[in-house]
Amino acid sequence: MTTAYHHDTSSSNTPPWVPLDALADLWAAFGKEATTAAATSATSKAFAALAAERDALRHFNLARQEQRRSLVAPSSTRFRASSDLDYAIELLSKAAEYWFEAAHALEEHAITCPDEATTSLQNLRTLIGYALEQRLRIWTIAQHLLVEQVALYQQHYGSDR
């Protein structure tokens, strides 16, 4: 399990979606070596998080398509775009929760296997760091989508303030 994975969490105007294949490979390698229930649970939670994020990206893309259509179509497409953003945000919330649970399960695994080799413990720490970084990145994406959703609403209904 020496595969490196890194992404930039710096701020920008676009959500920091990243390819997830390298991260999935990393967790698959860890899952193959899982020797405890906690390690298996961590792997399961990581894949649940990856699935939720991929589904969120799909809904984000659907929202973008609806936004483009709304430039020439009736306002009902704006509602669909907002609904897709709602669903993407909800999925990201679930993904962030799964990443937290994966990190917690890895910590539990480290506690239940204190006599593992130093290399294995370092790999566990690295995976915990990746899980927490993913959680941060997920919340950053969700924040971008929330801002976008508010802007869509204000654009469609105007601001009464």
**Is there a domain that residue 8 lies in?**
no
**Is there a domain that residue 6 lies in?**
no
The tens place of each residue's pLDDT in the chain, 161 residues long, gives 444 544 444 445 678 899 999 999 999 999 998 889 999 999 999 999 999 999 999 999 998 888 777 766 555 555 666 788 999 999 999 999 999 999 999 999 988 886 666 568 888 999 999 999 999 999 999 999 999 888 877 877 775 55
For helices 118-157 and 21-32, angle between their N-to-C axes, nearest 10 degrees? 140
**Is there a domain that residue 70 lies in?**
yes
pLDDT at 66: 82
**Is there a domain that residue 112 lies in?**
yes
**Is there a domain that residue 88 lies in?**
yes
**Is there a domain that residue 2 lies in?**
no
**Is there a domain that residue 12 lies in?**
no
**Is there a domain that residue 87 lies in?**
yes
Tokens 């209904």 belong to which residue? 157
pLDDT at 112: 85
**What is the span of the domain harbouring residue 123?**
39-157
Residues 6+ apart with CB under 8 A from 124: 106, 109, 110, 116
pLDDT at 7: 46
* pTM for this entry: 0.82
Our count of domains for the chain comes to 1
Report the 10 Å Cβ neighbour count for 120: 16
Tokens 């490979």 belong to which residue? 25
pLDDT at 63: 87
The one-letter code for the residue type at 87 is Y
The one-letter code for the residue type at 107 is E
Report the 10 Å Cβ neighbour count for 75: 10
